[in-house]
Amino acid sequence: MKIAVVAPARPIDPLVGARVSAFAAIAYPQVDLYVHPQCFESDGHFAGSDQVRAAAFLEVANDPSIDAVWFARGGYGSNRILELVMPRLGDAARNKTYLGYSDMGFLLAALYARGFGRPVHGPMAVDIGRQGGDRTVARSLGWMVGRDRQGLEPSLGGRPAAAFNLTILGNLIGTPWLPDLTDHVLMIEEVSEPLYRIDRTLFQMAHATQLQGLAGVRLGAVTDVQSNDPPWGETPETMIRRWCGEMGVPFLGAAEIGHTGGNTVVPFGVA
């Protein structure tokens, strides 16, 4: 099996590429892990210019010898290449797994909306650097290699699901790249935002016409919360329960997703 790693947003350190390649070689010897050189490019904030990042993604997505595309890391940027890549995806791109989270939600959403491959929310190559990072990335590698269910979000069942970082979801609302999530369980997580901004984006989610018809909402990890002055008076669970009530959608409880080492795998659709 051949898995290609590309970086549609920010670059990774070459040490990350070496570590994740070494782990894959030992734990998954049946995998040919190809870390595209573009992952180490630098153009200001980004892993190369928009054109360079788009070209690398198209190269691996349209290559019929590659079975899965594993995103290197998040950080802002993948939305800037959607118009460059989506019209140029070929038939080979429809037969792959695409796996990542955070900013990669832009690409996962667009691929799911257009029926390309099997988008999956899950740990990325950069997560090898977390404490216990081998266990974290093993969830993604295990799913890509053999549909290993041990790394799946425990709540997954017969209903279709999708998972997003809340800020990314908010930025997708009102665009043609947000897929139809009717009858889906929507799972959301957030990182590095003050609680008032989370509340504001939940308002947007609750009143978005594109999100009517959800089967329910689950809340993942809300981490590295930035301080409010004065202090915010509600917990994330209190906020999401309130907005789900206004949305008329059941709050289904917790999901084990987020910017943590415990981030699980959520295939879009039915696992």
Tokens representing 63 are: 């290559």
| Backbone φ and ψ of 100, nearest 5° | 180, -170
Q: To which residue do tokens 């897929």 refer?
A: 179
Which residue range(s) make up the domain with 174? Answer: 161-267
Residue 256 maps to which CATH number?
3.50.30.60
Catalytic choice (153, 189, 190, 193): 189
Mean pLDDT by 10 residues, the chain (271 residues): 98 98 98 98 98 98 98 98 98 98 98 98 98 98 96 95 98 98 98 97 98 97 96 97 98 98 98 83
Identify whether residues 180 and 122 lie together within a single domain: no
- Cα separation of 214 and 193, whole Å? 25
Alpha-carbon distance of 171 to 178, in angstroms, equals 9
Listed in sequence order, the residues at least 6 apart from 60 whose beta carbon sits closer than 8 Å to its beta carbon are: 4, 6, 34, 36, 66, 69
**Residues 212 and 242 reside in one and the same domain:** yes
| Cα separation, 16 vs 129, whole angstroms | 7
Rounded Cα gap, residues 210 and 268, in angstroms: 17
Active site residue 259: yes
Mapping DSSP to helix (H, G, I), strand (E, B) and coil, where does residue 162 land? strand
Q: Which of 36, 121, 184, 259 is catalytic?
A: 259
State whether 10 and 123 are in the same domain. yes
Q: Looking at 36, 78, 102, 140, which residue is catalytic?
A: 102
Q: For residues 170 and 77, what is the distance between their CA atoms, to the nearest angstrom? A: 15
Element (H, E) at 191: strand 185-191
Q: Is residue 226 part of a domain?
A: yes
Tell me if residue 83 is catalytic: no
